[in-house]
Homo-oligomer: A and B are copies of this chain.
Amino acid sequence: MSTASSASRTTREQIVDAADQLFYEQGFDSTSFADIAATVNLSRGNFYYHFKTKDDLLEAVIDQRLRNTQALLQQWEQQGAQPQDRIRCFIHILIANQARILLYGCPVGTLTTELAKLNHHALDQANAVFTLFRTWLRQQFQAMGRKQDADELAMHVLGRSQGVATLASAFQDEKFLKQEVKRLNQWLQQCVDDAKQ
């Protein structure tokens, strides 16, 4: 029974993984069950067994992204000694995921934008990924001594990253991406220096 159950979960996981990637690359609306089925080598009609509707699948994908994000933040929590080092971990994902960002933009931003236009009820859930980053960044700025404007600074970093991803993707401009990352790191250093005084 445990083998059967785990095998079942494996197929389900494969579906979610494939959907996760395709939703990112092609968008949610224009990714069909047929596309996902072809990736996982499964018959199209059989999806009903695993997910009753396409919205259920979307919810599973976002849930996975939420879990992955939380794991990532926890990892950064241990990697960086100082709060500013942890924030630098966040900024660095622009470099680490450079290739995909140049092709498809930010996975979080593009999904929320699409769901907003579709008036989709899962929009709040998708926005929760943003909120995870926002809350985490706020905590880092608070730890840096910026109690007053920690949330504003967190939103600032989040916004700058969004803009970089959008434009770098539009212009397919790797140089711009790296320039802006440098600028953002400089701005962060300024924050650190300001807080010390």
- Secondary structure dominating the interface of A: helix
Q: Is the CB of A113 within 8 A of B169?
A: yes
Which residues of B have CB within 8 Å of A160? 159-160, 163
Q: Is the CB of B130 within 8 A of A170?
A: yes
State A156–B183 Cα separation when bound (angstroms). 9
Instruction: Please tell me the number of chain A residues within 8 Å of chain B, measured between CB atoms.
Output: 38
- Contacts A117-B27, A118-B27 given: A180-B156 contact, CB under 8 Å? yes
State A117–B105 Cα separation when bound (angstroms). 9
State A155–B112 Cα separation when bound (angstroms). 24
Residues of A within 8 A of B (CB): 25-27, 29-30, 103-105, 109-110, 112-114, 116-118, 127, 130, 152, 155-156, 158-164, 166-167, 169-171, 173, 176, 179-180, 183
